[in-house]
Structure 1
Amino acid sequence: MKQQRRQTVRRRNILQATAGAIFVGALGVSTTFAGVATASSGDPRYVITANQNAKPRIERAGFDVSHGLADDTVLIVVGSEEDQAELERIPGVQHVTRDIEFKLDEVLVDDSAMDKSAGLHPEGAETPEYWDFQWEKRRINVREAHEIATGAGTTIAIVDTGIQPDHPDLGNLNETDSIAIIEGERIEAGEPIDVGPFSHGTMVAGIAAAQGEGILGTAPDAELVSIRVFSEEGFATGVDVLLALEYAAEIGADAVNLSLGTVPLPPEANAAGLRAARERVANQVVRDGTVITASAGNGNANLQHGGWFRFYSSLAGTIAASATGADDLLTFYSDYGTNVIDVAAPGGGMADAVKSYCGILEYFFEDRIAEPGEQTQVCFAYPDAVFPIPVPPDYPGAECFHCTTSDYPFPLNAILSTTYNPFTGEYGYEWQGGTSFAAPHVAGLVALVRELDPTMNPRRVASAIQQGAEGSAGRSDPEVGAGRINALSTVQRVKG
């Protein structure tokens, strides 16, 4: 592991571009259900679940099977609108369902708030030593765990918006194996470029495996592989994610992380065929030895009731992570649900939104971080939203709340990770929050476990992480599952 060293970095603070909303970025990289997907030809793309004898029958019927997953029990076919009924009649076919499409959420930006915060943190301003800001790594005892394991010899695949190459903390990115999967097609020859807002995939990668130049990842000696599933226009499909999971298993990744954070989807988006296809592919990936980690989502929703579900954290065999904050409680935005959440991990913020943002006015308008115990206020434009939007006190319609800053005032209760500014070409570090940033802590912990025991199967890995977690009386707490992860306790148990 590279020795951690003191450094200064350029402070390009994306928070200025989001009306000072520390969590807007995390919400902005959630995805919404955009409807059914089509192939580049405009024809429907069908997801077929079938028995293993169906593929040759489908091909004899004149259809081109572009992909066969899970031992050819999940098949991808492009056809016309009229072909669905014919496909359903073929012996061995169980379900024929249209592929679905997701889109990155737009980020709500307020120009007047941007104008008022602009210039307070100019380009070139220096920041303190970054380990001091990594409360979350101290909370889960990462540096102590690194005396036992650092992730050496393991691979973490990140299914996301890409990982920007050449960041000084991400020299462990394997560009050769990194690919993009767009509209059912692999883009070969290395395609890690981050196309997402707020460098989402790059931030996720840093949390999992930053090498200690500016920040320390959970598994700094693991290899990173980027599997980009979002187009430059911000669209991804269910098939692309299934193919990404298959690719992660194909390259022998120890963990594949899905911090894609769909908003809670209605039951009709969980059609039987799509649900069966997801389960079959996930089960095959797990049987092949790859551990799947996924974010629970940022909707403050109870996923146990009402038929609502998350597209990725609901997969069988997946370690689904909710988010805890600097107060070690479930954050105000995290989804939860009995038998849905497996473990919790730090995601940034606190249990209360006002506490999470307390100190934001001092940060932006006085160019300082508030002292713990200061009396101040937080003003929101949309106080009832899951992620309320902080605004200046004189913003029209603003609702303000008095608060006392905690030991972690804004932005110190967020997660600091690696970023890239495509407009300036600069690499840096930024604060963000969301369950997207909880899941890669778990992916990094998988790498630590696998370094110690490369033969441990995914279910045993998950069990070891759950046994090492803390703060829960059992494994079915609706908020934190088996508890908030503890890297040191986990690796000590595995080492024996």
Structure 2
Amino acid sequence: MAKLNRRSFVKSVGAGAVALTAMGVTSASDGRTQFVVTVGGKGGRKKLEQSGVDVQGSVADGRVLLVAAESKATIQEVNGVKHVEPNIGYRAVGPKLQSTEESLDEQYADIQWDKQADTTGAFEAHDSSTGDGRTVAIIDTGIDTFHPDLRNRVERGQLFRADGVSSPDGSPTVDGDTTIEARLPPGDEEIESYTYLGAPERRSQMAADDVDSHGTHCAGIATAKHDDTSVGEDFGIAGMAPDADVVPLRVFYWKRLDDYQYDVDGDGEDESVTVTTLWTTDFDILSAIDYAANIGADSANMSLGGGVIKGSAHKNGEHVAYQKVIQSAVQRGTVVTTSAGNASSDLQHEGYYTLPNSVPGSISVSATGPDNGLAFYSNYGTSDIDVGAPGGGYETLEKTLASDTEWPYPLNLVYSTVPPDLNDGTAYAWYAGTSMAAPQVAGLVALIREVNPDMSAKQVQSIIENTARYSNGKSDADIGAGVIYAPDAVAEAKRRN
């Protein structure tokens, strides 16, 4: 195992949901500013195009658009435009997740506390449902194309990059199985989490392949399979829905920034340097949600989010765009699962919220530990949390790091898949965060849909909430309706069939 200490654990949970910080407005390839525009109806795009505005992308049945223009004013004056917001680019922040040394033994079920009877009951539920024939989309850093424990449907995947840099034709999307020159972190110093000095390294890979590790870890939690045909009996771990397909929707990519302010010499004076950082934009994320619904994914998981916001910003165009796209996906049958965030923040009072988990229509998931209590880093609040699910760790950092608990560190974290080529040969690792909680729910959706495929997204959410445990009711500030429980959820879905 990796060396166990307080610092390494704090690093491990810091980015358990990929936290984002706004870093500026995204530009089109010709230098014009990109905007996310919401319009009143399907005719909004036509009106914009007739006025000479360049519409570069469209989601939510044409009600949310990606537009390139010289100024905001040229868009606002078009009839039918409701909101115009810059397509904000976000840098991933928070300490990077830590992994353990590689193990090639399969006795992994014994250490998957997150799938056992006293937590989610996934192993028991597999007697009735395994997610066969269902699809889980992972909106993240991509998914390892060749990991033997993942049924990765990369040919159905996509890379979403609004500036068109990765696309052969300059469009904001690339088919997942298209071979591209992907960007990876430089070999230079990591000056902040997900931020490295120097220009990115490059390698040829499929567009939806993982460029970090986070997406692969989430994919394993939701859908990791046992495969005794190619690598030996009882290889790997078991995901919540081990027979479901998983589709990589990559919204993160490594971006070069040439004017990053950093104190190189440690003298207190910042200077401009070239760095490579993990990056995404609002429209990339919105496009991925919409695409998941377009391909009929049963669930779309987003283990990502911005910081905790206070005030009336939830009324702005950015929030409206997320709400339109998420609700459109839900109406088409895709259950959207979101991580609640790792800021230990109360989202119930004083107008606090985060995007996208605070948007009505998504299932917002807090993180719990082996004792089904709220993990110390997880956000909470009755206004935002729908259910809890295993994310790793206990209610305090001290208990998490203790050696005399039933699940001592790192065994109280969540064990799942990672790309060996990005982790010094390691194929599995311990991570913690609300990122690890949300895909548990995404996988549960696949179990429910296998036994009752005609259920609407809202009906699926209702079953998940009504069969959850360890809560005094849906108003529990820590875990909402409770910790998800797969056997009862599958049984209830069967009963309603």
TM-score by length of 2: 0.80
State the distance in 1 between where 2:48 and 2:250 align.
Answer: 30
Distance (whole Å) between structure 2 residues aligned to residue 243 and residue 416 of structure 1: 30
Higher mean displacement: 219-228 or 350-359: 350-359
Distance 2:474 2:102 in 1: 47
Quote how far apart the aligned CAs of 1:144 are.
1.0
Report the secondary structure of 2:131's partner residue.
coil
Could you say if the C-alpha distance between residues 465 and 297 of structure 1 is closer, same or farther in structure 2, counting changes exceeding 3 Å? same
Q: Does 1:182 align with 2:182?
A: no
Identity %: 40
Distance in 2, Cα, partners of 1:288 & 1:36: 31
* CA RMSD after TM alignment: 2.4
Tell me the residue number matched to 1:169: 149
1:131 is aligned to 2:109:
yes
**CA pair 106-483 structure 1, distance change in 2 beyond 3 A:** closer
Q: Deviations over 1:418-445 (max 9, x none)?
A: 0124356635111110000000000000
Matched residue type, 2:32: D
Match of 1:36 among 4, 25, 28: 25
Q: Name the CA distance, whole Å, in 1 between partners of 2:104 and 2:74.
A: 64
Q: Which aligned pairs between 1:277-426 and structure 2 lie closer than 5 A?
A: 277-359=321-403, 405-423=404-422, 426=425
Give the direction of change, closer, same or farther, for the CA distance of 1:443–1:153 in structure 2 (3 Å limit).
same
Provide the residue aligned with 1:215 in structure 2.
Answer: 237
Amino acid of the residue matched to residue 137 of structure 1?
K
After superposition, the C-alpha distances for 1:278-316 in whole angstroms (9 at most, x for unaligned) are 111111111111110010000011112233321111122
Give 1:61's aligned residue: 51
- Which of 198, 215, 218 is equivalent to 1:204? 218
> Do the aligned partners of 2:60 and 2:325 also contact (CA within 8 Å) in 1?
yes
Q: Which structure carries more strand by proportion? A: 2
Alpha-carbon distance in 1 for matches of 2:281, 2:410? 34
Q: Per-residue displacement from partner, 1:87-141 (whole Å, max 9, x unpaired)?
A: 21211111111112211115379xxxx9xxx9xx8x7766672111101100211
Alignment equivalent of 2:297, drawn from 241, 245, 253:
253
Partners of 1:249 and 1:274 lie apart in 2 by 20
Preserved contact between residue 18 and residue 25 of structure 1 (Cα < 8 Å): no
Bigger shift: 22-31 or 183-192?
22-31
194 and 14 in structure 1: CA distance in 2 versus 1, 3 angstrom threshold:
farther
Inter-partner Cα distance in structure 2 for 1:324 and 1:161: 23
Extract unaligned runs of 5+ from structure 2. Answer: 164-171, 178-206, 227-234, 256-277
Instruction: Name the SS for the 1:327 alignment partner.
Output: coil
Give 1:339 shift: 2.4
Give the drift of 1:459: 0.3
Q: How many residues get paired?
A: 425
Q: Provide the rounded CA distance (Å) in 2 between the counterparts of 1:14 and 1:258.
A: 30
Name the stretch that deviates more: 175-184 or 240-249.
175-184
Distance 1:41 1:15, change over 3 A: farther
Residue 121 (structure 2) aligns with: 141
Structure 1: distance between partners of 2:283 and 2:394: 35
For structure 1, list consecutive stretches of 5 or more residues without a partner in the other structure: 1-10, 360-404
Q: Distance in 1 between matches of 2:12 and 2:288?
A: 27
Give 1:29's aligned amino acid.
Answer: V
| Aligned partners of 1:155 and 1:254 also within 8 Å | yes
Deviation at 1:179, TM superposition (A): 1.4
User: Which AA in structure 2 matches 1:154?
Assistant: R
Q: CA deviation at 1:57?
A: 1.9
Is residue 73 of structure 2 the alignment partner of residue 85 of structure 1? yes
The Cα of 1:70 is off from its aligned counterpart by 2.1
